Every structure is written in structure tokens, then in C-alpha cells.
Amino acid sequence: MPIQGSCACGAVRFAIEGAPSAVGTCHCSRCRKLGSSTIVFVARKQFSLLSGAQQIETIAPRAPYTYTRSFCRCCGTALGEPLSPDASFPINAHCLDDDPGIPHSFHEFTENRPSWDTQPEASGAIPETIR
């Protein structure tokens, strides 16, 4: 069974065939503010947008950020990059309705982590093979 995912209102629905390549957290301020800091990386060929493409609003990056982010226009749920043309792209891990089957495995931009965030890091840096 594909892994199912959706936004809070259910307008945007997607499926991932097989396990994502990684689950991790980006601590940069942009990902934190946009509400999509914990992400799963998926390959284009394993990702299917099932509904709600017309409800997805995209937010272009401003330097130094390089990744477009998007959200559901109905409920505001941050989605990651479901409309990305790239071969591999991030999706908000909190949108998954099923277990991705792999553990959290990386943290990036940890130097941008706010001082109040004292959660211990249980995993390491983003693997080079993902991007």
C-alpha cells in the first residue's frame, strides 16, 4: 500500500509509493517559520498528487534560500514542495497519514536553531546522496 498524506482540511492528498529516501529536520528560520521543518525526501517517480493541485500556493525562495515552499490555500497547511520539478524534493513529514517506514536520520542548519530549542539531536547530518 502506498503511504498516504494530506493537508489538515483534506483538499490536498498525495501518495508515496515505497519508503521515502530520508526523514529529517531543517532548522533554518525559513523552514521553521513556514512550518515545514521536518520533512521526508521523496523521488518524483514515487510521488503522486491525488487531489488539490489547484489549492496549492507556492512561495518562491529569497536568497540565501533555494527551495520553493508551498501550502494549502484552504487550510494553510505547509506542504513542502509537492509541485517541484526536481527528481527529489521535500514533503512536510507532518502531512503523512501513514508511517514512512524509516526513522528520522538527519538535521541540517543546526547553527540556526533557536536557543530555546534544546531537544537533543538523535541523528546526524543530511546524507549527500539525497540531493
Residues binding Zn ion (CB under 5 A):
7, 9, 11, 26, 28, 31, 72, 74-75
Between 18 and 94, CB nearer to Zn ion: 94
Position of cell 525526501?
41
Strand partners, 92: 39
Look up residue 116 and give its DSSP letter.
Answer: T
Measured from the CB of residue 29, what is the shortest distance to Zn ion in angstroms?
A: 8
Establish whether the linkage from the previous residue to 85 is cis, with ω within 30° of 0.
no
Between 42 and 72, CB nearer to Zn ion: 72
Between 79 and 101, CB nearer to Zn ion: 79
Q: Distance between CA atoms of 28 and 42, rounded to whole angstroms?
A: 20
Measured from the CB of residue 1, what is the shortest distance to Zn ion in angstroms?
A: 23
Q: Residue 35 — left, alpha, or beta (φ > 0 → left; ψ -120 to 50 → alpha)?
A: left
Measured from the CB of residue 103, what is the shortest distance to Zn ion in angstroms?
A: 20
